[in-house]
Amino acid sequence: MANIPSHLKYTQEHEWVETVGKDRVRVGITDYAQRQLGDIVFIEMPKVGDAFEIGQPFGTVESVKSVSDLYAPLSGKIAAVNDTLVDDPEWVNSDPYGDGWIIEIEPSKAAELKELLTAAAYETTLSEA
């Protein structure tokens, strides 16, 4: 079974969201997603300052199996990108909820946070897949 930390929020597209400051959230892909992808070899990330609407693609993750889009879990502006992943994208496989985070967003619509899945709801979506 996939590791699903209870303190995080989730999307149907297998991204996780963690509040890391008053006006900032950290985003990555879930343990389930990285297992499905296999060995990750490249991550295309946006630039700091880029703005996205919820559900809009913000980058891609390339594995030995496929290339998958990454979707913005919230509307807002990119506040930081995990530059470590440029040279070491395998952090997403080895530590998806820690050093494998991908971006940080300054959300523009706080109410969207309430629409994200809880860990229990995310786990239910996996069991239905």
Within-domain flag for 87: yes
| Lowest pLDDT segment from 54-58, 90-94, 97-101, 125-129 | 125-129
Examine residue 64 and state whether it is found in any structural domain, yes or no.
yes
Residues present in the chain in total: 129
Residue 1 clears pLDDT 70, i.e. is over it: no
C-beta of residue 101 within 8 angstroms of C-beta of residue 82: yes
| CATH code where residue 64 lies | 2.40.50.100
Domain assignment present for 125: no
Q: Answer for the pair 72, 58: CB distance below 8 angstroms, yes or no.
A: yes
In a domain, 126, yes or no: no
pLDDT tens digits, residue range 6-28? 999 999 999 999 999 889 999 99
pLDDT by residue (tens digit) across 33-91?
999 999 999 999 999 999 999 999 999 999 998 999 999 999 999 999 999 999 999 99
Whether 85 is in a domain gets the answer yes
Query: From CA 60, how far away is CA 44, in angstroms rounded?
Result: 5
- For residue 40, which of 64, 58, 60 has the smallest C-alpha distance? 64
> Is 19 domain-assigned?
yes
Domain that holds residue 22: 11-113
Is 118 part of any domain?
A: no
d(CA 64, CA 40): 7
Asked if the structure places residue 100 within a domain, the reply is: yes
Give how many domains the chain has, as a whole number: 1
